[in-house]
Homo-oligomer: A and B are copies of this chain.
Amino acid sequence: MASSFQTLPGFRDFYPEECAVRNHLFRLWRQAAAEFGFSEWDAPVLEPLELFTEKSGEEIRRQLFEFVDKGGRAVALRPEMTPSLARMVGAKAASLRRPIKWFSIGENYRYERMQKGRGRSFYQFNADILGEAGRAADAEIIALTARALELAGLKSQDVVVRLSDRTLWFEFLSSKVAPEAVGEVLAIIDKIEREPQEKILEKLSAHCADATALLADIRAFLQINSLEALEAFLNTLADKKESLSARLNDWRALLGRLNAMGYGDWVAVDFGIVRGLAYYTGFVFEVFERSGEGRALAGGGRYDNLVAKLGGADLPACGFGMGDITLRLSLEERGLLPQFLNAPDFYAVTSGDGATQEAALADASQLRRANLRVEYALKGAAFGKQLKAASQSGAPFALLYGESEIAQNAVRVKDLTTGKESLLPRDENLTAHLVAVRRVGLPKDPCHGHEH
């Protein structure tokens, strides 16, 4: 009889091995966030539909799991955390101490075509700083992104934080196209590597008289790959000197902090990152494999106007998101996922049902109350068969309860690796003794022990 029920496409079952990997990533993320002094928050998986359309426009609905609930409300499973963040921070903006440094680990849902590294449900680590407009906040966000990857075992030789600047793109383009067209031009630039040149030129010509010249200027801008190159490039521009040189100072401050924190070699100046989303306002970044393969491991940037729009509080903000699926693939390919063992600390083996079993249950319960992991057979079985199960469980030690041990009010502890045994009295110190055995092994010269 086979079950007809299937997991929905794009959703994932987490069997214990998978769940252990997921929880490992969650632990890394929580650890990194704690080191940087961020506090965890969470929001409902279901939110009013308009919270998402207000941020991203009606077109987001194509990607949403949306419906009308039994109370007639238009609702949707969250596709991301940022709108909920803006809503929650906005609601308590007056009472929250600033800067607000929050992180979340939440599952998000998008109804989209499935491809490698992208399901319809995925976990994302988000961290945001709200209420601080300075470059120190951007640096903190970028350093935390790198730190989370570093904790996972990745190095600056493996991945790169491609750092760009929407402010500078605006400054640069607004002398060449109408200010209101800059957003559209950036969306064209976002596809510059994926679309044929004729198509790019055709699109650009809608926004300027000489598309060829504009494309050449854009390509020159895209060549910039260092602070020095940026400085040299800006010096060649005649117009807007002042605002551009102020922005150059922002770059110096940002990269200076990242260097001081030891994350300078994780970062590359790269104006190819424009972040499609319209709400980014300043520094933006995406993290990729140095090899260039695969989807972005993380991405983020500054979004100074969004909280006001969604949360009603005028708070500058920056943050990032890091998904579990791409990160997991990257760690797996590099052999950076640890082996997760679910082995007990002790496995109790008993002969018979009466006093031996009672003793085993009592001791097991005491050990569990000392936070050790203890297992035993739940079904009557021969002593030898139980001992085999003890070995198979991966437990380093077995606790043997036979008639003779019980007659002496004792338990025999067996090191399942060496085969050594030691008889311990079942007195009020037993739990403490076994906790010590778990930590440092059997006593070297056991009073009552013998070897087999």
List residues of chain A with CB under 8 Å of any chain B CB.
1-9, 11-16, 19-20, 22-23, 31, 34-37, 39-48, 50-51, 54, 65, 67-71, 73, 75, 77, 83-84, 86-88, 90-92, 99, 102, 107, 109, 111, 121, 129, 132, 134, 136-137, 140, 143, 147, 150, 256-257, 260-263, 308, 310-314, 342, 344, 357-358, 361-362, 364-366, 368-369, 371-375, 378-379
Given A8-B46, A379-B136, are A1 and B39 also a contact pair (CB < 8 Å)? no
Distance, CA A68 to CA B86, complexed state (A): 29
**Cβ contact within 8 Å between A312 and B2:** yes
Would A48 and B8 count as touching, CB distance under 8 A?
yes
Complex Cα spacing A182 to B132, Å? 66
- Cα–Cα, bound, A69→B136 (Å): 43
Please, which residue of chain B has its CB at the minimum distance from the CB of A258?
A: B361
Q: Is the CB of A368 within 8 A of B36?
A: yes
- Which residues of the other chain, B, contact A77 by a CB distance below 8 angstroms? 45-46
- A205 shortest CB reach to chain B, Å: 36
A47 to chain B, nearest CB (A): 7
Residues of B within 8 A of A361 (CB): 257, 260-261
User: How many Å from the CB of A370 to the closest CB on chain B?
Assistant: 9
Q: Do B44 and A11 have beta carbons less than 8 Å apart?
A: yes
Q: Return A432 CB to nearest CB of chain B, in Å.
A: 17
**Among candidates B91, B134, B362, residue contacting A262 with C-beta atoms closer than 8 Å:** B362
Which B residues touch A39, using CB under 8 A? 16, 19-20, 342
Contacts of A68 in B (CB 8 A): 67
Nearest CB in chain B to that of A97: its residue: B392
Asked if residues B44 and A13 are in contact (CB atoms below 8 Å), the reply is yes
**A11-B46 contact given A51-B5, A134-B379, CB 8 Å threshold:** yes
- Assess the A8–B378 pair: CB atoms within 8 A: no
* Closest B residue, CB atoms, query A129: B378
CB proximity of A326 to chain B, nearest CB, Å? 19
Contact of A372 among B35, B312, B313, B371 (CB under 8 A): B35
Chain B: CB-nearest residue to A87: B5
Closest to A84 in B: B13
For the complex, give the distance between the alpha carbons of A15 and B97 in Å.
Answer: 13
Please list 25 pairs of residues, one from A and one from B, whose beta carbons are closer than 8 Å in the complex, sorted by A's number: A2-B312, A3-B91, A5-B54, A5-B83, A6-B48, A7-B87, A9-B71, A12-B44, A13-B41, A13-B43, A13-B44, A14-B41, A19-B41, A20-B39, A36-B373, A46-B109, A65-B67, A134-B378, A134-B379, A136-B378, A143-B365, A256-B358, A260-B358, A260-B361, A261-B364
Q: Are A8 and B99 in contact (CB under 8 A)?
A: no
